[in-house]
């Protein structure tokens, strides 16, 4: 039961909330997939859920609508928000009259959070999903304005929280580290969804390495290409799956051709559900220069895959060395090749890492648990 006193929601008994998730877009990424899962869980418990996209709906919009949530878009033009756009945003929020606004990333909070403050929305929360460069005075100013509006601020890793504190944008005591989560697939789902080696033309004896992520500079997939070229040059049977799309695709395809390994590299493109590809892998690899808390890593663990990742961002806090995965210094190409080769010849080691990762993700990182934690936070603020 719920009633209102002034602008505040008085919560008693079983409560159905009116929740708005504010994002720049629903283009497919870890942030956006988390929002999809939060929508699923919110609708499942009877909440009214809306996703407000400031820029454009994106690839995941239809999937979000399938959950029963509404998707709206402001279709904001590039640059700072114009006065007509700000008025439009205010009109939308006033019409929805949400109990809770959950903003994802600083850009959404800058506009939606400040507008919500003027409308005296009962609860505004913010989640920071990645590290950003706040070296310019302009970025620091905008971030300072944005982070003054939420009632509660979450970060998906301690490293991200430390970055905000380092730039004096938020005091440490105002931040809560809240990890991401994913739906945990059943063994039957993994078996039934997996692609076959035959379909991709991969030899039964080959070791399949792979990664999931945007094909962008920060992900440094060229390091993985180079490692595969070295392993193939040693006479090893190897293949690589690159799952994702992005501005570097042509460059990476050209690099694979120049290394003479195009026949060993499979560019799978954007996959709304990457699980069939992940299920086919022997070893999951991240060679990024920066990561917050990648959903793809959780999905690899959920599929019982051995993981190898660079020790950047939130990954050292997430991965226990030689227990749930292997950590590498970013850019150490010799060590990357050495580790990938060693794992390829030790199936028992791969199985142990994969099973430990699976146990961890079931214990701590299920989508249901994360959604429940966020919803408890909403209710706490409303009380």
> For the segment 224-233, what is each residue's pLDDT rounded down to a tens digit?
999 999 999 9
Which pLDDT score, from 0 to 100, does residue 1 have? Answer: 42
Report the pLDDT value the prediction gives residue 4, as an integer from 0 to 100. 45
What pLDDT, on the 0 to 100 scale, is given for residue 375?
A: 96
Number of structural domains (the chain) is 2
Give yes or no: residues 14 and 123 share one domain: yes
Task: Report, as an integer, the average pLDDT of 275-292.
Answer: 92
CB under 8 Å to 359, separation ≥6 — which residues? none
Q: What is the CATH number of the domain that holds 349?
A: 3.40.50.2000
Angle in degrees, 0-180, between the axes of helices 221-233 and 249-259, rounded to the nearest 10: 20
Q: What is the pLDDT of residues 75-109, one digit of tens each?
A: 999 888 999 999 999 999 999 999 999 999 998 99
Residues 217 and 200 in one domain: yes
Q: What's the pLDDT score for residue 259?
A: 97
* Residues linked to residue 265 through DSSP beta bridges, in sequence order: 240
What pLDDT was estimated at residue 133? 82
Q: Are 150 and 160 in a shared domain? A: yes
What contacts 234, CB < 8 A, 6 or more positions away? 341
Closest by CA to 214, choosing from 160, 271, 164, is 271
Burial 246-256 (b: 16+ CB within 10 A, else e): bebbeebbebb
**If you ran DSSP here, which 8-state letter would residue 240 be given?**
E
Residue 383: pLDDT above 90?
no
Provide the sign of the torsion angle of the four alpha carbons 157, 164, 308, 278, taken in this order. positive
The yes-or-no verdict on residue 293 having pLDDT over 60 is yes
Rounded-to-integer distance, Cα 107 and Cα 109, Å? 5
Question: Taking residues 1-9, what's their average pLDDT?
Answer: 44
Is the separation of the CB atoms in 315 and 228 below 8 Å?
Answer: no
What is the distance between the alpha carbons of residues 348 and 336, in angstroms, rounded to a whole number?
A: 19
pLDDT band at 186 (very low <50, low <70, confident <90, very high): confident
How far is residue 272's CA from residue 196's CA, in Å, rounded to a whole number? 18
Local confidence band at 59 (pLDDT 50, 70, 90 cut-offs): confident
Three-class secondary structure assignment of 181-202: CECCCCHHHHHHHCCCHHHHCC
State whether 320 and 371 are in the same domain: no
Mean model confidence pLDDT for the chain? 91
User: Residue 225 belongs to what H/E stretch?
Assistant: helix 221-233
User: 233 and 172 share a domain?
Assistant: no
- Based on the fold, state whether residues 65 and 17 are members of the same structural domain: yes
Which structure tokens are listed for 23? Answer: 């994002």
Least confident of 7-16, 35-44, 78-87, 219-228: 7-16
Q: How confident is the model at residue 28 (pLDDT cuts 50, 70, 90)?
A: confident
Position with higher pLDDT, 65 vs 79:
65
Same domain, 176 and 238: no
What average pLDDT does the segment 303-322 reach? 94
Residue 14: per-residue pLDDT: 57
138 and 276, same structural domain?
A: no
Residues 6+ apart with CB under 8 A from 315: 286, 291, 294, 297, 309, 327
- Residue 5: pLDDT over 60: no
| Domain span holding position 80 | 2-181+366-382
pLDDT band at 157 (very low <50, low <70, confident <90, very high): confident
Provide the token pair at 165: 């504190």
Q: Are residues 195 and 109 in the same domain?
A: no
Are residues 262 and 288 part of one domain?
Answer: yes
Tokens of 1: 């039961």
Q: Which of 318, 272, 326, 323 is nearest to 291 (CA)?
A: 318
pLDDT of residue 271 exceeding 90? no
- pLDDT digit string, tens, across residues 126-141: 999 988 888 889 889 9
| CA dist 213 → 144, 171, 272 (Å) | 30, 31, 12
129 CB-near residues (< 8 Å, 6+ apart): 30, 31, 34, 104, 105, 156, 160, 292, 293
Q: Is it the case that residue 2 has pLDDT exceeding 60?
A: no
Residues in contact with 242: Cβ distance below 8 Å, sequence separation at least 6, in sequence order: 210, 211, 215, 221, 224, 252, 265, 266, 267, 268
Is residue 246 domain-shared with residue 337, that is, in the same domain?
yes
Residues 10, 130 within the same domain? yes
């Amino acid at each position: 039961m719920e009633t209102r006193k002034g602008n505040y929601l008085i919560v008693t008994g079983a409560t159905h909330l009116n929740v708005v998730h504010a994002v720049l877009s629903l283009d497919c990424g870890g942030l956006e997939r988390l929002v999809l899962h939060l929508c699923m869980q919110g609708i499942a418990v009877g909440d009214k859920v809306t996703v407000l996209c400031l820029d454009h709906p994106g690839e995941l919009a239809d999937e979000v609508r399938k959950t029963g949530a509404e998707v709206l878009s402001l279709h904001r033009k590039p640059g700072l928000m114009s006065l007509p756009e700000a008025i439009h945003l205010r009109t939308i929020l006033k019409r929805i009259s949400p109990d809770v606004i959950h903003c994802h990333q600083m850009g959404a909070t800058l506009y939606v959070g400040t507008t919500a403050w003027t409308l005296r929305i009962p609860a505004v929360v913010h989640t920071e999903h990645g590290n950003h460069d706040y070296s310019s005075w302009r970025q620091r100013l905008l971030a300072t304005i944005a982070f003054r509006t939420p009632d509660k601020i979450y970060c998906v890793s301690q490293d991200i929280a430390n970055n905000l504190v380092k730039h004096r944008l938020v005091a440490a005591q105002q931040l809560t580290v809240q990890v991401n989560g994913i739906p945990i697939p059943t063994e039957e789902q993994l078996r039934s969804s997996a692609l076959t080696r035959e379909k991709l033309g991969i030899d039964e004896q080959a070791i399949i390495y792979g990664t999931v992520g945007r094909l962008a500079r920060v992900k440094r997939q060229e390091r993985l290409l180079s490692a595969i070229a070295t392993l193939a040059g040693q006479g090893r049977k190897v293949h690589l799956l690159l799952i994702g799309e992005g501005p570097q695709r042509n460059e990476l395809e050209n690099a694979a051709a120049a290394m003479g390994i195009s026949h060993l590299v499979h560019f799978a493109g954007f996959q709304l559900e990457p699980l069939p590809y992940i299920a086919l892998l022997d070893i999951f690899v991240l060679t990024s220069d920066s990561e917050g808390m990648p959903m793809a890593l959780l999905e690899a663990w959920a599929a019982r895959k051995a993981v190898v990742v660079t020790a950047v961002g939130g990954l050292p806090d997430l991965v226990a060395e030689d227990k749930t995965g292997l950590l590498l210094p970013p850019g150490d190409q010799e060590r990357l090749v050495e580790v990938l080769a060693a794992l390829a010849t030790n199936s028992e080691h791969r199985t142990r890492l994969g099973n430990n990762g699976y146990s961890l993700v079931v214990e701590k990182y299920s989508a249901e648990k994360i959604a429940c934690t966020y919803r408890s936070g909403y209710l706490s603020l409303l009380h």
